[in-house]
Amino acid sequence: MVIHQVFHAEFYRDVKTTMPSSDDVLFRDTFDQYIYIWEQLISTIT
């Protein structure tokens, strides 16, 4: 359970940081693509 929360905290930090490292930027781009795909999938189901 604690590990799960650590992942959430890291995801949040990577997405919300105002001074991103190159890894943060890469994560943010990947995360944005994931959200886009998820939204497209949900819109076809509903």
Percentages helix, strand, coil for the chain (3-state, rounded to 5) are 85, 0, 15
Per residue in 15-36, is it b (16+ CB within 10 Å) or e — as a string? eeeeeeeeebeebbeeeeeeee
Task: Give pLDDT, residue 31.
Answer: 87
> Taking the CB of residue 11, how many other CB atoms lie within 10 A of it?
13
Domain that holds residue 11: 2-45
Task: Give pLDDT, residue 41.
Answer: 92
Task: Give pLDDT, residue 40.
Answer: 94
Residue ranges in the chain modelled with pLDDT below 70: none
User: Cα angle vertex 13, ends 8, 16, to 5°?
Assistant: 120
Task: Give pLDDT, residue 43.
Answer: 93
Give the total number of structural domains in the chain.
Answer: 1
Task: Give pLDDT, residue 37.
Answer: 93
